[in-house]
Chains A and B, each alone.
Chain A
């Protein structure tokens, strides 16, 4: 079956660093995506990993280990506007669709 796990909620302080973990078990794998989603809005693309290792993009970095079925999203220098849900999604569907985790709601506090 398809299963993507990530923590439900996390809280962090402005200016700090936070790591959001994601583990997955899917029948297929064509890459792993991280999206940011504010309530009532569509997801916004953050990162894409298809090979093992760390991808850095400004304050956001994403890591993938295919052998472990594991990824994390690292957010540095947290800002209040980073408060949102972060969705881990695997491109593993039979139609090339994304399979989403339930999302991690991140609250950034002053």
Chain B
């Protein structure tokens, strides 16, 4: 079956530093990738939609200058959390949509900002 690789699975960083999360579709082309955030005991919330070769579309309340998204190829999207703060600590998950409209999730990244 289709696989989406998300890396790293867990990261701990100091406040003020930047963290990059990669989402890669291993055996299919993903024209669209979605980035979700999930705080403890809460739902998955869409942060942004990333289309290959164009600027990401951010949901209301998500700062585009803080959460930089790059979708440079049909198999790779990256999310960079810039100047991370403790309140950015969360579980980040990507999902990739294949050409036949199916969605596949990455394994998630647990970010802890000290």
Q: Which A positions have Cβ atoms within 8 angstroms of B?
A: 40-43, 45, 87, 89, 93, 95-103
- The 8 Å CB contact of A97, one of B42, B46, B107, is B46
Inter-chain contact B105/A101, CB cutoff 8 Å: no
Main secondary structure of the interface of A (DSSP, over half): loop
- Whether A96 contacts B43 in the complex (CB less than 8 A), given A40-B108, A41-B108, A43-B105, comes out as no
- Closest 3 A/B residue pairs (Cβ): A95-B49, A102-B43, A100-B44
Q: How many residues of B contact A (CB 8 A)?
A: 22
Main secondary structure of the interface of B (DSSP, over half): strand
Which residues does chain A contribute within 8 Å of B42, judged by CB atoms? 102
Inter-chain contact B103/A95, CB cutoff 8 Å: no
Which residues does chain A contribute within 8 Å of B83, judged by CB atoms? none
Inter-chain contact B43/A87, CB cutoff 8 Å: yes
Inter-chain contact B57/A42, CB cutoff 8 Å: no
Inter-chain contact A87/B57, CB cutoff 8 Å: no
Inter-chain contact B108/A97, CB cutoff 8 Å: no
Which residues does chain B contribute within 8 Å of A96, judged by CB atoms? 32, 97, 101
Once bound together, how far apart are the Cα atoms of A42 and B43, in whole Å?
A: 12
A-B contact sample (15 more), CB < 8 A, given A97-B46, A98-B46? A40-B108, A41-B107, A41-B108, A42-B6, A87-B44, A89-B44, A93-B46, A95-B49, A96-B101, A97-B34, A98-B95, A98-B103, A100-B36, A100-B43, A100-B44
